[in-house]
A and B are shown apart, each in its own frame.
Chain A
Amino acid sequence: MKTLIRLAKDDSVAIALQPLSAGTHVTLGDLQIQLSSDIKVGHKVAVCDIAAGDKIRRNSVEIGSATKPIAIGEHVHLHNLKSDYIPTLNKHYLDREVSS
């Protein structure tokens, strides 16, 4: 089974297909990525350096904007990616400490 899957060539994120530990080196095509934190299954990893405000692409579709600079190998989730439509989680949810 694969470790990471990038759904389309121009995507800025890849998705973990199994739990991955911080420091792990993953080869994705001609890319060498070192993970800067633990990544749970189904979560996203940056496969390029992303600037704050950049659109993030998955399967060739924009899924939101970066809220801060994201380096290759970093976890991409609620802490650095926001919806361009509707805030994902309201205060009620954030108070419950979504695991990131």
Chain B
Amino acid sequence: MMRGYLRSDGRKGIRNIVLVAYLVECAHHVAHEIYLPSRHNNVHLIGFPGCYPSDYATQMMQRLCTHPNVGAVLLVSLGCESFDRRRVENAVAASGRPLKTLVIQEAGGTAPSLKEGQAWVQQQVEAMSHAPTCSIEFADITIGAICGGSDTFSGITGNPAVGRAFDQLANLGTKAIFEETGELIGCEQHMIGRAETPAVAQAIDHAMRKAAEYYEVMGHSSFALGNADGGLTTIEEKSLGAYAKSGSGPIRGVIKPGDVPTQGGIYLLDVIPDGPVRFGFPNINDNAEIAELIACGAHLILFITGRGSVVGSAISPVIKICANPMTYERMSGDMDINAGRVVTEDTTLDEVSQEVIDLVRAVAGGERTCSEALGHQEFILTYKQFEPTGPGCFPGVTAAIPMSQE
């Protein structure tokens, strides 16, 4: 039985988290010290390190602070940073969530801020434990899929199994989001063939051309040394493996970080910044992508790993699906599902897919994933730049809430 928390926007959370968010690196330590004593009590920490203003970061923070898994928000500001905290405050206040902004310079520095912040968080933790719950269906859930530390097994076991789960969940009304365009170079034509409308086909084509151009400028494909050690040779080969996690059903839309799909179906998340290359690599690591999937409303993340990633995330649980049976043997304590059984035993991809769906149901019902139990709460947010999502990217006006319309 899946139980969740109904929010004022109609979305339902599968966790009820008190979120502590710092608005510049200068406030990081204070925020971290506020979070530490309560870190095992559903208190999570996120933040943005930059002092210069960024529309992208502000929108990401706005979406993360009003994510359905979040029940209350403490913003920690130094006081003189350029971050536009009013936009985040307004969004959280409008959602009806308990909100407090702690400005360190006004509170009297580190020690008084810690005292005030910890007391408020403690109060919210107490309140969260009495929050009423509601029932949840698969149609209430948004899922993100990512692969990291990929090797050959990712494309043979874990990703195809998740792809099958994607198709099934999308049929049940789940919003299923896959990424990342830079890791799908070589699969353009196949993806375009799955587009639900000509406008979506055009959006996929545009997103993929942008990805190819971006990586060409960077002089580097999305390919790490470990990928080659694991036997993958080209970006097309790695893409083929990554692409398998998206299933085979129709692609309903192309979204950008912070766009929130509201209709069930499969969505492609375009994570490549718009315009000229400005801030370096599109996403500097897996958690940067996970944060973007969560900003699109993902309640939980399916993370397929071959080499053996250990990360989790702030805000949304991460289910780790280990594609490589040898890695699973070494790191089973970090892995929720052993998809490598497809090559070592008689297990089929459909059986692993069912295991994924069963675990989604259990985790949405409150069961903790390995990374949650181990205390993993990685989070990173850096500078990026996006243009508003084009109207053709969604099949209808109600299909998603693009960031630019707020």
Contact = CB atoms under 8 A, between A and B. Distances in A.
Contacts of B236: 61-64, 83-85
Interface in A84-100: 84-90, 93, 96, 98-99
B216 interface: yes
5 contacts: A42-B232, A62-B186, A85-B234, A85-B235, A98-B228
B193 to A, nearest CB: 13
A96 B234 contact: no
B225 A98 contact: yes
Nearest to B226: A98
Given A63-B234, A76-B233, A85 B156 contact: no
Contact of A99 (B223, B229, B234, B326): B229
A33 interface: no
Contact of A58 (B187, B229, B240, B326): B240
Contact of B223 (A15, A16, A89): A89
A59 B155 contact: yes
Interface in B357-387: none
Nearest to B185: A85
A9 interface: no
B33 interface: no
B153 to A, nearest CB: 6
A68 interface: no
A88 B228 contact: yes
A93 B353 CA distance: 36
Interface string B257-277: 000000000000000000000
B281 interface: no
B344 A1 contact: yes
Interface residues of A, number: 35
B248 interface: no
A77 interface: yes
B219 A90 contact: yes
A63 B225 contact: no
Interface in B193-231: 212, 215-216, 219-221, 223, 225, 228-231
Contact of A85 (B219, B221, B225): B221
Nearest to B325: A1
Contacts of A99: 229
A42 B343 contact: no
A57 to B, nearest CB: 10
B231 A78 contact: no
A86 B155 contact: no
B237 A86 contact: no
Interface string B316-348: 000000001010000000000000000110000
